[in-house]
Structure 1
Amino acid sequence: MEIRTNDFGSINGQKIYTYTLENNNGMRLTCTNLGCIVTEILAPDRNGMFENIVLGFNNVEDYIRNKTYFGALIGRVAGRIGQGKFELEGKVYQLPKNEGNNHLHGGYQGLHERVWDAEEIKTDSAVGIRFSYVSPDGEEGYPGNVRLQVTYLLNNDNQWIFTCKGYTDQKTLLNITNHSYFNLSGNAKKDILNHELTLKSHRFLELDKQFIPTGKISHVEGSVFDFRNSRKILDGKLSQNEQNILVGNGYDHPFLLDDHFNEEIILRDHETGRKLIVETNQPCVVVYTGNQIGGEYQTAEGVKAKKYLALCLETQGLPDAIHHSHFPPIIIGPEDYYEAKTIYTFTIDD
Structure 2
Amino acid sequence: MGKKMVVEKSGFGKIGTQPVYLYKITNKNKTSISILSYAATWQNFEVVEDGVKHSLVEHFDNLEDYIKTPYQVGKTIGRVAGRIKDAKFEINGVKYQLKPNDGRNLLHCGNQGLQYQNFDAAIDSDNSVVLSHTIEGEDGFPGTMKVNIRYSLNDDDEVSITYKAQTDHDTLFNPTCHVYFDIGSENIRQQQLKINAKKFVDVDEDKIPTGKFLSTSNAYDFRNFKKIGQGLKQLKPLDKFEFDNAFVVGNKAATIKSNERAIDLYTDRRGLVIFTANPKDVQKSDQHDYSSLAMELQSLPDAINHDDFGNTVLNAGQSVSYTNKYKYRKL
What TM-score, normalized by structure 1, do the two folds share?
Answer: 0.87
User: Is 1:209 aligned to 2:209, yes or no?
Assistant: no
User: Is 1:122 aligned to 2:125, yes or no?
Assistant: yes
SS for the counterpart of 1:286 is strand
Structure 1 residue aligned with 2:28, among 18, 24, 27? 24
Provide the identity percentage.
Answer: 31
Displacement of 1:87 in angstroms is 2.3
CA distance in 1, matches of 2:171, 2:103: 23
The match for 2:133 is: 133
User: Is 1:343 aligned to 2:325, yes or no?
Assistant: yes
What stretches of structure 2 of length at least 5 have no aligned partner? none
The match for 2:266 is: 279
What stretches of structure 1 of length at least 5 have no aligned partner? 299-304
Displacement of 1:332 in angstroms is 1.3
Displacement of 1:323 in angstroms is 1.5
**AA paired with 1:106?**
C
Displacement of 1:277 in angstroms is 0.7
Matches within 5 A, 1:1-350: 1-45=5-49, 47-123=50-126, 127-136=127-136, 138-185=137-184, 190-220=186-216, 222-240=217-235, 245-246=239-240, 249-257=241-249, 259-260=250-251, 263-270=252-259, 273-290=260-277, 294-295=281-282, 307-349=289-331
CA distance in 2, matches of 1:236, 1:119: 41
CA distance in 1, matches of 2:280, 2:231: 16
SS for the counterpart of 2:222 is coil
Q: Is the 8 A contact 1:43 1:52 kept in 2?
A: yes
Displacement of 1:245 in angstroms is 3.8
CA distance in 2, matches of 1:307, 1:166: 38
Q: Deviations over 1:296-329 (max 9, x none)?
A: 799xxxxxx9732101111100101112123212
What TM-score, normalized by structure 2, do the two folds share?
Answer: 0.92
SS for the counterpart of 1:264 is strand
Between structures 1 and 2, the one with greater strand share? 2
- With over 3 angstroms needed to count, the CA separation of the structure-2 counterparts of 1:9 and 1:240, relative to structure 1, is closer
Displacement of 1:49 in angstroms is 2.4
CA distance in 2, matches of 1:293, 1:98: 23
Q: How many residues align?
A: 326
SS for the counterpart of 2:67 is helix
**AA paired with 1:232?**
K
Displacement of 1:241 in angstroms is 6.5
CA distance in 2, matches of 1:208, 1:291: 24
Q: Deviations over 1:41-60 (max 9, x none)?
A: 11245x45221111121222
